A and B are shown apart, each in its own frame.
Chain A
Amino acid sequence: MAWRIEKRTLSGERAPWWVFPAALFFAVFVGALIFIGLGVNPLEAYAAMLKGSVGSFFHFSEVVVRAIPLILTGLAVAMAATMLLWNIGCEGQLVWGGICAAGTGLFLAPHLPPFLVIPVTIVAGAGGGALWALIPGLLKAFLNVNEILTSLLLNYIAIIFMEHLYFGPWRNPEGFGFPGTAQISDLARIPHFLGTRIHLGLVLALVLAALIYGGLRYTRWGYRVRAIGLNPRAAGYAGFSIRRQIVGVMLLSGALAGIAGMAEVSGIHFRLQQGLAVGYGYDGIIVAWLARLNPLAVPLAALLLGALIVGGEQLQSLLHLPASISMVLEAVLLFGLLLSETLARYRLVRRPDAPDRSAAKKETAP
């Protein structure tokens, strides 16, 4: 008897249940090694992280606050990846959502009927992100330019443009020279809940997650998106316009990231300033993958990553570890997931006998 590793052939089969626990275990284990390397007792470190993230209502509310943009960017990445598009540009789209929300709150709000200010802000944020994502979308659909590169590079342009605004034309004249715009109108601030920093963005994010989940399963549009993602040739045979879907999905993906930026500006910062582009766009990639592209699992994955980020900040202040420790832990978690997913794609099979011997046996037969 010989054992052999064989690749599972069919895509689209559910991964076994153990993939996620295995990834988590891997992350905790490798994380512990890193803590030991840094001269910290891993038990102490994990305890600090747990206490700092779920140890009290206040701490947990901060985790939720971080999870809000992560849900939205996670949905944005998952949405695009469902159709095999890699939107690495959520960071830039988030920035544009923020720019448009800030612009609305600063300049447009005074001229609008009060009840319209928040809806207009939301639409502006979504529109800003969508238009920024339209660029890689059109390039991909009509010129087949790789969207990974274009969407990624556009991030830097968006960030620099935002800096130009708050260092230059939009800078607060009464800001004592600090970079940043003035505070947006009170009317443009989205409501908060339970006396915490948790804001309306949470409701938006959860509703959108449910809508996308349902949309993919129960609408004609969603059927086309899934079909193209699973088998573009069959989708072409069925007569679906792949170009149109690419543009549409990129618009939607950008709009989701734009809403994340809008919610950060209108719910947390109340102005455009440094600290908007802190990597939620890139974290969205991890969230989407942790959620296995399932929109309903995205909020849970975002909470996990939010806890990791908030817990990591505790390590920094309590144990004086470098600030980048939470990014390292995020990376370890992603690697753990990729590793266990890869393993799940193979299985052990038994082969009846070794090949050479069977040939020899036949040779000696009369």
Chain B
Amino acid sequence: MTASPPPALALDNISKRFGDVVANQAISWSLQAGRIYALLGENGAGKSTLMSILSGRYQPDEGTIRLNGRPVRFQSPAQALEQGVGMVYQRFMLVEPLTVTENILLRRGPVSLARSRESRALRELAERYGLAVNPDATVRDLSMGERQRVEILKLLHRQADILIFDEPTAVLTQTESESLFAILRRLKTEGKTVIFITHKLEEVMAVADDIAVMRRGRMVSQLAADKVRSQHDLARLMVGREVILNVDKPPVTIGAPVLTVRGLTGPGGTARPSFRNINFDVRQGEVFTLTGVAGNGQEDLVAALAGITSLAEGSVTFKARRYSAAGWRNRPAAGMAYIPEDRDRVGSIAAFTLVENFLLTRLAEGKQSPLLNWPQVADETANAVKRFAIRGSGIQGLAGHLSGGNLQKLILAREFSRKPDLLIAEQPTQGLDVQATEDVWQALLRQRETSAILLVTGDLKEALSLSDRIGVMFRGEILDIVSARDTADIDRIKLLMAGLGAR
């Protein structure tokens, strides 16, 4: 045993479950003062949950957190901050009409009369850490980078020693990112512990001292940054060697393209469009997958294809009819079904019964008599419940009482019942347990016999298990489309996801 001081922050066997889903499993991590830690992992790897536990938003089911060797337990973010652990969220928590000083003093209750003295103190604090921000400016007028500095200042003002950043560069420009890194290094020399969550490997290489990688709720690797030779190593660590599950994949003859998109570009206004020059087609009987790390444009592309948002440029050909970018949104709805990512708040209505939910997207079908045929819908729902083995409190129970897997099966059954030519499924198994995931996969594979399927997923295992071809998106573009049968190609997917290895 050495007599070195206890780590600034130590996690010991932290576990957290949400229902059946294990978000964090037995995570141990020890962090020293004066170092910058990068926390890496795919979507759903459990990073955000872990940081929410650290910052007091969630309480762990098991395990201990120690600050400087002393066990602590936070009931709220305010308590965590009191103990010196603070978090800068991706969405800033600032009151826009107030000034920087007012925002920082806000949590103390009524702002004191000696405001000029307070703002002088803040100015000194800001200078010490190189945080260029005017304490008297109104937050509304500040850039994203400046707002982030206000958030940091807020934590420093409360004497936080451990600062957590959730994807801090996601909203920043290149120059702003670089000045953030300078600030992080400054924090480090002042003896603070910095944790930042990121997907961007070059950032990790640029600023981190230590790297921790999470996968499927577990901490799979911890290493010093100087041990990492290349971004390729990191990409492999992050995604891991995925084992393709033995999904029974009945052969289906692949036919003509059902959906063809050419040169699709999203609306950008003055900013960069979130997706640009997208070309792919989805053929009858095929599962075509779009994958990528979250935030690389897949979400916006799907929303536009589903007709929820608009397109700026390009063309879409659906069932041999060509639509312009502007015309796509107003096309007749028939023939396409969409399974949205958020099944609780978009795909279903929690306070409706299963029967009522079964009608949600099918109201425009059939003959449009004003009266609804509830007995018929109830029959169809009962059949779907039987066929998909949906377990709940009966077809007149509320959808909000179903578990995630059963709710997703209900949504699948509903969308399948529309007999679509094209089915778009967005993150269809996110947050589901193993059994439900397999059920959903089997259902999707069966559906290939009648529909072309566009799958959008960040889960590589899912992409590999279901797809025929996989398009990898990075920064709004499809870097490459690879065959899911070609093992050499599969290795490239991980690199493509990190923006590397494009041909």
Contacts and interface: CB of A to CB of B under 8 A. Distances in A.
Chain B binds chain A: yes
Given A10-B398, A359-B73, A219 B371 contact: yes
A45 B372 CA distance: 50
B359 A223 contact: yes
Indicate the size class of the contact surface on chain A. 20 to 34
B312 interface: no
B193 to A, nearest CB: 21
A223 B400 contact: no
B340 A237 contact: yes
Interface string A1-26: 00000000011110000000000000
A31 B70 CA distance: 56
B249 interface: no
Contacts of B359: 223
B372 A223 contact: yes
Contacts of A240: 363
Contacts of B363: 220, 223-224, 238, 240
A234 B346 CA distance: 4
Interface string B349-366: 111100010011101100
B360 A238 contact: yes
16 contacts: A11-B350, A223-B359, A224-B363, A226-B352, A227-B360, A230-B349, A230-B352, A234-B345, A237-B338, A237-B346, A238-B360, A238-B361, A239-B333, A355-B73, A359-B71, A360-B71
Nearest to A214: B371
A240 B308 CA distance: 11
Of A240, A359, A363, the most chain B CB neighbours within 10 A belong to A359
A362 interface: yes
A contacts with B: majority SS: helix
Interface string A97-120: 000000000000000000000000
A238 B72 CA distance: 47
A12 B401 CA distance: 11
Contacts of A220: 363, 368, 370-372
Contacts of A230: 349-352
B408 interface: no
Given A227-B352, A234-B348, A237-B308, 19 more contacts: A10-B351, A10-B398, A13-B351, A219-B371, A230-B351, A231-B345, A231-B350, A233-B346, A234-B345, A234-B349, A237-B346, A237-B361, A239-B333, A355-B59, A355-B73, A356-B73, A359-B64, A362-B71, A363-B64
A90 B129 CA distance: 59
A218 interface: yes
Interface string B368-387: 10111010000000000000
B453 to A, nearest CB: 19
B347 interface: yes
A34 to B, nearest CB: 35
Given A219-B372, A359-B64, A10 B75 contact: no
B contacts with A: majority SS: loop
Contact of A219 (B59, B75, B370, B398): B370
A173 interface: no
Interface string A184-226: 0000000000000000000000000000000000111101101
Contacts of A223: 356, 359, 363, 372
B351 A12 contact: yes
Given A237-B340, A362-B71, A10 B350 contact: yes
A236 B59 CA distance: 35
A221 B360 contact: no
Interface in B458-479: none
Contacts of B73: 355-356, 359
A12 B399 CA distance: 11
B457 to A, nearest CB: 19
B400 A12 contact: yes
Interface of A: 10-13, 218-221, 223-224, 226-227, 230-231, 233-234, 236-240, 355-356, 359-360, 362-363
Interface residues of B, number: 33
A221 B307 CA distance: 22
B361 A10 contact: no
B400 A10 contact: yes
A363 B71 contact: yes
Given A220-B368, A234-B360, A237-B340, A227 B349 contact: yes
Nearest to B74: A355
Contacts of B372: 218-220, 223
Contacts of A224: 363
Nearest to A355: B73
Of B59, B346, B347, the most chain A CB neighbours within 10 A belong to B346
A231 B349 contact: yes
Given A230-B349, A230-B351, A233-B346, A13 B356 contact: no
Contacts of B351: 10-13, 230-231
Nearest to A228: B349
A224 B73 CA distance: 47
A217 to B, nearest CB: 8
Contact of A10 (B59, B338, B356, B401): B401
- Listed from nearest, the 3 A-B pairs whose CB atoms lie closest are A12-B351, A231-B349, A10-B400
Of A231, A233, A234, A363, the most chain B CB neighbours within 10 A belong to A234
A178 B72 CA distance: 79
Nearest to B65: A359
Nearest to A356: B73
Contact of B347 (A13, A234, A363): A234
Contacts of A11: 350-351
A57 to B, nearest CB: 40
Nearest to B12: A362
Of A10, A224, A231, A240, the most chain B CB neighbours within 10 A belong to A231
A356 B338 CA distance: 47
Nearest to B342: A233
A355 to B, nearest CB: 5
A355 B364 CA distance: 53
Nearest to A358: B73
B460 to A, nearest CB: 27
Contact of B350 (A12, A238, A362): A12
Contacts of B338: 237
A357 to B, nearest CB: 10
A10 B400 CA distance: 7
A171 B473 CA distance: 74
A239 B346 CA distance: 11
Contacts of B356: 223
Interface in B386-413: 398, 400-401
A347 to B, nearest CB: 16
Given A238-B363, A363-B71, A221 B345 contact: no
A286 to B, nearest CB: 24
Given A218-B374, A223-B363, A355 B350 contact: no
Contacts of B350: 10-12, 230-231
Nearest to B13: A362
A360 B345 CA distance: 40
A233 B346 CA distance: 6
